[in-house]
Amino acid sequence: MYNDLISFIKNWYKTDEYIPLHEPRFDETDKKYLLDAVDSTFVSSVGKYVDQFERGVSTYLGVKRAVATVNGTAALQVALRLAGVKKGDEVITQPLTFIATANAIAYNRATPIFVDVNRETLGLCPDALDNFLRNNAQERGGKTFNKISGKQISAVVPMHTFGHPCKMSQIKNIAQKWNISVVEDAAESLGSKLSDKHCGTYGELGVLSFNGNKIVTCGGGGAIVTNNDSLADMAKHLTTTAKVAHPWEYVHDEIGYNYRMPNLNAALANAQIGKLDVFLADKRDLANSYKDFFSTREWGEFFNEPSQCRSNYWLNAVITKDRYGRDTLLKATNNAGVMTRPVWQLISDLDMYKNCQKGDLKNARWLQERIVNLPSSARINEQG
């Protein structure tokens, strides 16, 4: 039943070799930038490419500032701290996400609360968020507290799953009503837009990832983005070990982190981001072709971008009819040398987070039983 899908994918990538889920694309420009960074001898966290990359990211997204970090998880950890999350607080997020979303909360010695996603976006559901807060929260002195635990709920972290934008306007309005900060996990959604506004720019703070499997990669790498200069300055300070500027003295005024992006990685990132629009165009072509393919198949429905959105289609997804359909598709494709994968196990079910408070997660569980991610690499090498 799945041979036609396997043939379609192999024909798209013009190979009978193993096809990975999402591999990076490099060319001579990437090598040139890397060699220039090596020749400069500035390969650590000081160098022109770090500053250049930060300017490039902020310009692309239309925000004032971007602060480059060693990876997206570090960016989210620091962004949550900047948003006011402290030891003993609680942070609302979604269970259908990569583990880093919850881990970054835990790194701040806070506790995640898991609220359901919706099927239209795969991301945090505004109705579920609203219902949870109305039933479980109370406001005291301009802050929101959990009536069950007594702890402060200080932030909410929506994540744009596979690059598909959450309903950010509704989420932001609910958060403002409850005086809760919004920190946007846009790790997977560089280039995605909701109503012509880039993902990562709706909250006071947003975070990006440039991991090896992302559209733009520098091996690792992340960024904190914001329109708040004070927060950006503090982000840069904290991620540079909280070192006070001085020509020679080593003075650190608080506990910071060695989280700045190295110049070597930033050189590669600069080369990559210059090709972002080409990557996005090719990935949209692939998504449209998948959409056409699945329009005549009853065993799976292609997940299309939500309304009023332009997704980057970082990872394409098909929704099968049930768990059996998911598992048989995974087995057939992977046995044929075409890498597919299920969505993550729900974070709320993992041992370290299973005792956290959660709402009704019926949509997340329904999706977990049915989602299969399909090969989604761009074909930039064909285009020169």
* Domains located in the chain, CATH noted: 3-26+276-383 (3.90.1150.10), 28-273 (3.40.640.10)
pLDDT given at position 47:
83
pTM: predicted TM-score of the whole model, two decimal places: 0.96
Contact 63, 54 (CB under 8 A): no
Name the stretches of the chain with pLDDT < 50. Answer: 382-384
Contact 188, 161 (CB under 8 A): yes
Question: Can you list the alpha helix ranges (DSSP code H) found in the chain?
Answer: 3-13, 28-40, 48-61, 72-82, 99-107, 126-136, 168-177, 229-239, 263-273, 276-294, 323-335, 362-368, 380-383
Antiparallel, parallel or unpaired: β 222-226 and 197-198: unpaired
Distance CA 320, CA 314 (A): 19
| 134-143: long-range pairs with CB below 8 Å, 24+ | 136/357, 137/178, 139/178, 139/179, 142/179, 143/179
pLDDT given at position 293:
98
pLDDT given at position 34:
93
> pLDDT of 21-37, one tens digit each?
999 999 999 999 999 99
C-alpha distances out from residue 125 to 108, 132, 183, 194, 303, Å: 24, 11, 15, 15, 17
pLDDT given at position 381:
54
Sign of CA dihedral 252, 253, 255, 259: negative
Contact 91, 357 (CB under 8 A): no
Distance CA 349, CA 365 (A): 10
Scanning the structure block, which residue is given the tokens 């591999």?
23
pLDDT given at position 296:
96
Distance CA 370, CA 327 (A): 9
Give CA 353 to chain center in angstroms: 20
Contact 163, 312 (CB under 8 A): yes
Sign of CA dihedral 210, 71, 313, 305: negative
Structure tokens at 373: 């991610």
